[in-house]
Amino acid sequence: MTDFTTGRDRLFVPALGTVYEKLSPLSWPLVRVAAGLLLVPHGYMKLFGGMEGLIGWFGQIGLEPAALLAWYVALLEFVGGLMLAAGFLTRFVAAQVVGFMAVAAFAIHWSNGFLWTNGGYEYPLLWGAVALAILFRGGGELSVDAKLGREI
């Protein structure tokens, strides 16, 4: 008989099925919380010490209105990251991150090639893909959205 929940009959180590079964409900919150919390330091750095430089750089590369966009990005990373981690307005925030990362990947990093080590688009492309998955799936059961019984 097949256990379709864990696919134990397909596991190389069937005894791990119990572990996977118990931890599986935490997998989606782990992805969402990690994605959100890993954005926060980027926003913090901008908000508390880097806004002038970011605004100047946005102006230099032609992202206008530079000040508005810089504040949008910094707040999205900081506040939006916290909101993603909590699972509050999850799909709305994830959609913003998808758009922001698309601009970062294709308008800023594309000319540097793929690899992030050369300033390429690999990192924002990965972030955009994670945010897109969050947009499609929503906050999940362990989220503020679920507790409110509402989501966008």
At 11-41, the pLDDT tens digits run 999 889 999 999 999 999 999 999 999 999 9
- Helix locations, 48-151, DSSP H: 51-60, 66-75, 81-86, 90-103, 122-137, 144-148
pLDDT at 7 over 90: no
Q: What is the pTM for the complete model shown?
A: 0.88
Over residues 49-77, the mean pLDDT reads 96
